[in-house]
Amino acid sequence: MRRILRLVVVLFVLAALLAPASFAGVRMWVGFHDDPSFRWVPDRSERVRGSAELNASIDRLLVQWNLVAKTRPSTATDPFDPAYEFADIDEAVRAAQQNDQEVILTISGTPRWANGGKSPNVMPKRVADFTSFARAIASRYSGRFVGYPFVRFWSVWNEPNLQLFLAPQFNSKGGSVAPANYAKLAAAAYSGIKAGNPRALVAIGETSARGSDKPNGLRPTHTPGRFAELVAKANPRLKFDAWSHHPYPFNPNSRPSQIVKWPNVSLASLPRLDDNLKTWFHRKSVPIWITEYGHQTRPEDSLGVSYATQAAYIQQSISIAARFPFVQMFIWFVYQDDQGQPWESGVYTQNGTPKNPSPGRFSASARPLDPRNGVLSVRRGTLTPLVNLYTRRYCATDPTGTSIGMTWRVYRGSRLIAVDQQTSPLRIDCTISARLRFKVAKGQTYTATFALNDRSGIILNRRVTIVGV
């Protein structure tokens, strides 16, 4: 198959010839998780576009292995094996790219052929089968194949600290087994995803906000803190790029600032979780991705909050997350209420009516955090700082290597101090680079603007804040 003229985008910024840039706490991916809205309803393309218009920079989609591979593939690592059913995911990822958005794919759920005919929450008999699937899907979205967008963000399993999603949590003697099993799943998926796409960023965890750590009862569960600790105990050298968590409030009407008893983990508990993750996994830093959060509304749910309160909680929850420098992502669940999904936390009702003022509050909260307009620290005295820009929209139409034109301007305050034009080739991951020409002074803050254009006349505008250090 031909190598793709790739796709991808967003804007984050990294840099060279400078001190490492720190974006978390300054910039954060903010978006929605809503599979029905983005994959299955007739007006799904309009809903993806609507999420982008609310300044969502990322969409999360859940990919269920048991549904994608209902029968065993002949060549499981082949991203185009006819046993795989990826059509709706392909379409959703393309729609996100067309709207200049990133995507995070969460892979979860075991097919019956892989676990002896059991339910999707039961481990595969051979984790190598999960590795093969992870490699296949990551390869499909690696940017190497024409028409199949590059996917940068991935996560492994959904809420594995709950019996509902990973069973058993405890063995017949009451001993904990799910964390060690999850450590195997995470290692298998990480290996497969990186083999399929070395540029991918992989989160593990995807933990639910609370649990009991009790083996008895109808729904045995682990608390997220204890689960993470036992995962690390099972494999303290487990490889991952971030830990993902769902810090929902314990009750639909509880405030985002709710304090809960450790080892349950709410938004307010994230610093303690992060400190412990660094200790348990022997790391200097552990980024955290919030891959689900939301507040249901009334009258759709009798225990929900009013539309006005939901709007206030959207602003508060995003603000709390953005204050933590280790939080890199915040996903609201969901974009629009759906009849087949009994969770009414959308910012739109089932018929598409805005739950005013929630959509506007989401948009206003997400806009200043957009990683596509990044913040960069540059060593003082640097004469030609290099800025990397992620321009995913161009990858919807332009092949790798296409020259992207730009006019860049650098301002110190309101004063224009440098301006130039140049071109940059579109890379396989849809990034382009710009070499600015001005001397960076310590303690000074600069604004660099970029007017970008491709051969089709599509214009993108980016703005990067540069801080001299």
Residue 243: what residue type? W
Residue 176 CA to residue 169 CA, distance in Å, equals 6
Evaluate if residue 5 carries a pLDDT over 90. Answer: no
Residue-wise pLDDT for 366-425, tens only, equals 999 999 999 999 999 999 999 999 899 999 999 999 999 999 999 999 999 999 999 999
Our separate counts of H helices and E strands in the chain read 10, 15
Residue 274 CA to residue 321 CA, distance in Å, equals 13
Q: Which pLDDT score, from 0 to 100, does residue 3 have?
A: 34
335 touches 50 (CB < 8 A): yes
Please tell me the pTM assigned to this model: 0.93
Q: Which pLDDT score, from 0 to 100, does residue 10 have?
A: 32
CA atoms within 13 A on the CB side of 87: 4
User: Average pLDDT, stretch 315-344?
Assistant: 96
User: Average pLDDT, stretch 302-318?
Assistant: 97
Alpha helices in 267-306 (DSSP H): 270-280
Q: Which pLDDT score, from 0 to 100, does residue 219 have?
A: 84
Residue-wise pLDDT for 240-284, tens only, equals 999 999 999 998 889 999 999 999 999 999 999 999 999 999 999
Q: Which pLDDT score, from 0 to 100, does residue 216 have?
A: 85
Fill in the DSSP letter of residue 38.
I
Residue-wise pLDDT for 98-154, tens only, equals 999 999 999 999 999 999 999 999 999 999 999 999 999 999 999 999 999 999 999
Evaluate if residue 435 carries a pLDDT over 50. Answer: yes
Strands across the sheet with 415-425, in order?
375-378, 459-468, 445-453, 403-412, 415-425
Q: Which pLDDT score, from 0 to 100, does residue 303 have?
A: 93
Q: Which pLDDT score, from 0 to 100, does residue 119 have?
A: 98
Q: Which pLDDT score, from 0 to 100, does residue 317 have?
A: 98
Percent of the chain past pLDDT 90, that is, above it, reads: 91
The structure tokens 């400190």 sit at 275
The structure tokens 């954060």 sit at 28
Fill in the DSSP letter of residue 394.
G
User: Average pLDDT, stretch 9-24?
Assistant: 32
Residue 52: what residue type? A
User: Average pLDDT, stretch 446-462?
Assistant: 97
198 touches 192 (CB < 8 A): no
Q: What is the mean pLDDT of the chain?
A: 93
pLDDT band at 16 (very low <50, low <70, confident <90, very high): very low
pLDDT band at 236 (very low <50, low <70, confident <90, very high): very high
Evaluate if residue 24 carries a pLDDT over 70. Answer: no
Residue-wise pLDDT for 334-375, tens only, equals 999 998 888 999 999 999 999 999 999 999 999 999 999 999
- Give the orientation angle of helix 127-140 with respect to helix 178-196, to 10 degrees: 40
Evaluate if residue 448 carries a pLDDT over 60. Answer: yes
363 touches 347 (CB < 8 A): no
Evaluate if residue 301 carries a pLDDT over 80. Answer: yes
Across 10-14, 18-22, 392-396, the highest mean pLDDT is recorded for 392-396
User: Average pLDDT, stretch 59-86?
Assistant: 98
